A and B are shown apart, each in its own frame.
Chain A
Amino acid sequence: MAREPATRDLMFQDEIKDTVRRAYAAIETGGGETVARRLYSEDELAEVPPGAVEWALGVGNPVRYALLQPGETVLDIGSGGGIDTILAARMVGPEGAAIGLDVVDAMLERARIHVTEAGVAGSAEFIRGEMEDIPLPDGSVDVVISNGVLNLSARKSRALAEIFRVLGPGGRISLADLTVEGELPPEVANDQSAWAG
């Protein structure tokens, strides 16, 4: 008797990665002020250009909790439009560095424009890469932040191992992310766009 493939309605790792990448590449705007005002203070929003606010897509405020110090090197995984990278760059100052990592070229281009508009291009840079294969040396950063990104990975243990690798001894993480308790309805859980959203 032929057996139904057990994974017929499940997505494979590569499918999930492609789905997420295509979804983020396809959107024409971020969450905008409605999302940004829920996550950031008036003072914080005054420090970032309108374009970065428009492209806010996070679920928290990891920079606020990261306790960044001048001179530190911080890695922003899934930096998107750059709002958290800009806030981090201001906190670490010209002696430090804020590195944004993203897989979507259009996001990297937007973020580079936004850091220039914010006047922090000297302490911020953006690199293309995946959170499961971070293109940075071992122990090269002091702090890792991300905002609504780890849940997008189909290989979370691998992503966490990479974060651990690039941090130096005593290095810190401040990750904003979604958690879900219990099961989502299968119609939602198996919807491709629910992996990107």
Chain B
Amino acid sequence: MSGALAERVFAEKLERAGFEDVWVGGHRSYGIEDAARYPLFTPELIEVMKRTISPERRDHVATGVIVKARKPV
């Protein structure tokens, strides 16, 4: 999660790489409880997230997206 980009930055990086027709959709919220379902989030990290992330953001810390694009012909 620490390496996740903002959606706009993600799209810009794709365009700079040469892709066209960049599309971002399929948005899905990921909160702390969602993260806890993944074994890669250690219990210690989940505790840090609960302690430091504001209550209004705990159900939407990150967003799962689908990013589509095409290499020019």
**Contact residues of A with B, CB < 8 Å?**
16, 23-24, 27-32, 34-35, 38, 57, 59-62, 65, 148, 151-154, 156-157, 160-161, 163-164, 167-182, 184-185, 187-191, 193-197
Known: A156-B5, A195-B2, A197-B38. A180 touches B67 (CB 8 A): no
CB of A193, distance to nearest CB on chain B (Å): 5
* Known contacts A59-B30, A187-B48, A197-B38; A173 and B19 CB within 8 A of each other: yes
* A189 vs B4: C-alpha distance when bound (angstroms): 10
Q: Which of B3-19 contact A (CB under 8 A)?
A: 3-7, 10, 13-14, 16-19
Cβ of B56 within 8 Å of any chain A Cβ, yes or no, is no
Q: Count A-B contacts at CB 8 Å.
A: 163
Shortest Cβ gap from B51 to chain A (Å): 8
Choose among B5, B17, B26, B53 the residue with the greatest number of A CB atoms under 10 Å from its CB: B17
Q: Which residues of B contact A (CB under 8 A)?
A: 1-7, 10, 13-14, 16-19, 25-26, 28, 30, 35, 37-42, 44-45, 48-49, 51-53, 61-73
Across the interface, name the chain B residue whose C-beta is closest to A32: B37
Chain A contact residues, majority secondary structure: mixed
Q: Which residue of A lies closest to B22 (CB)?
A: A173
Apart from the given pairs A60-B66, A197-B35, 13 other A-B contacts in the complex at a CB distance below 8 Å: A27-B40, A28-B39, A31-B38, A61-B66, A65-B26, A151-B1, A170-B72, A173-B67, A178-B64, A180-B1, A180-B62, A181-B7, A181-B63
* Most chain A C-beta atoms within 10 Å of own C-beta, residue among B6, B25, B39, B42: B39
- A34-B37 in contact (CB<8A): yes
Name the CB-closest residue of B to A59.
B64
Chain A residues, Cβ within 8 Å of B53? 184-185, 188
